[in-house]
């Protein structure tokens, strides 16, 4: 089964570990953002994992192309997923850009199986087709039990 992992970009390395665990369980994790280089700084400029600029100088068209590519990669990966696992944050705990919320919405429309790991951040996390777990270990046990 194809899985997409959604979370804040700052949790990317943590989720790479979960991707490895899921791969060992036989899941295909398609989430290109986990490979790095899909990051924007606080003003929306594409940057690498070490904060280096991916577009030099004031090249607005290059930055726009990268942002569009990031969005398309994520959209395609979510749309192809059979399971979308959304790693949430405590509501109102930190500023964020909210891409994971859009990814969750795309998954609702594509009818992917939805799992939330962490607190329910918004009203859509309360839908009956959404499985919610407090920890990754609980979610992983659910996947082993239900989808293996």
Return the pLDDT at 112: 80
Return the pLDDT at 111: 87
What CA–CA distance (Å, rounded) separates 50 from 42? 14
Q: What is the mean pLDDT of residues 34-56?
A: 62
Q: Which CATH class is domain 2-146?
A: alpha beta
Q: What is the mean pLDDT of the chain?
A: 84
User: Residue 22 pLDDT more than 60?
Assistant: yes
Q: Which two tokens stand for residue 135?
A: 């920890």
User: Residue 140 pLDDT more than 90?
Assistant: yes
Write down the pTM of the prediction. Answer: 0.83
Q: How many residues does the chain have?
A: 148
From the number of C-beta atoms within 10 Å of its C-beta (0-12, 13-18, 19+), residue 109 rates as: exposed
Return the pLDDT at 32: 87
Q: What is the mean pLDDT of residues 28-54?
A: 69
Q: How far apart are the first and last CA of the chain?
A: 10
Per DSSP, 35 falls in state G
Q: What is the mean pLDDT of residues 122-137?
A: 96
Q: Percent of the chain at pLDDT above 90?
A: 56
Query: What would the pLDDT profile of 77-129 be if each residue is shown by its tens digit?
Result: 999 999 999 999 887 655 566 788 999 999 999 888 999 999 999 999 999 99
Confidence of residue 135 (pLDDT cuts 50, 70, 90): very high
User: Residue 39 pLDDT more than 70?
Assistant: no
Q: Within 10 A of 144 (CB to CB), how many other CB atoms are there?
A: 10
Q: Domain coordinates of the chain in residue numbers?
A: 2-146
Q: What is the mean pLDDT of residues 72-76?
A: 93
Return the pLDDT at 8: 87
């Amino acid at each position: 089964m194809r899985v997409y992992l959604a979370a804040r970009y700052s949790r990317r390395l943590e989720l790479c570990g979960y991707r490895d665990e899921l791969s060992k369980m036989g899941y295909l994790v398609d989430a290109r953002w986990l490979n790095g280089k899909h990051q924007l700084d606080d003003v929306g400029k594409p940057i690498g994992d070490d904060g280096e600029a991916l577009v030099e100088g004031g090249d607005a068209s290059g930055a726009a192309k990268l942002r569009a590519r990031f969005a398309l990669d994520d959209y395609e990966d979510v749309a192809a997923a059979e399971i979308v696992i959304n790693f949430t944050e405590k509501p109102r705990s930190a500023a964020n850009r909210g891409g994971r919320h859009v990814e969750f919405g795309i998954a609702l429309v594509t009818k992917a199986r939805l799992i939330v790991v962490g607190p329910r951040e918004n009203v859509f996390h309360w839908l009956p087709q959404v499985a919610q777990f407090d920890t990754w270990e609980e979610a992983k046990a659910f996947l082993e039990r239900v989808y293996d």
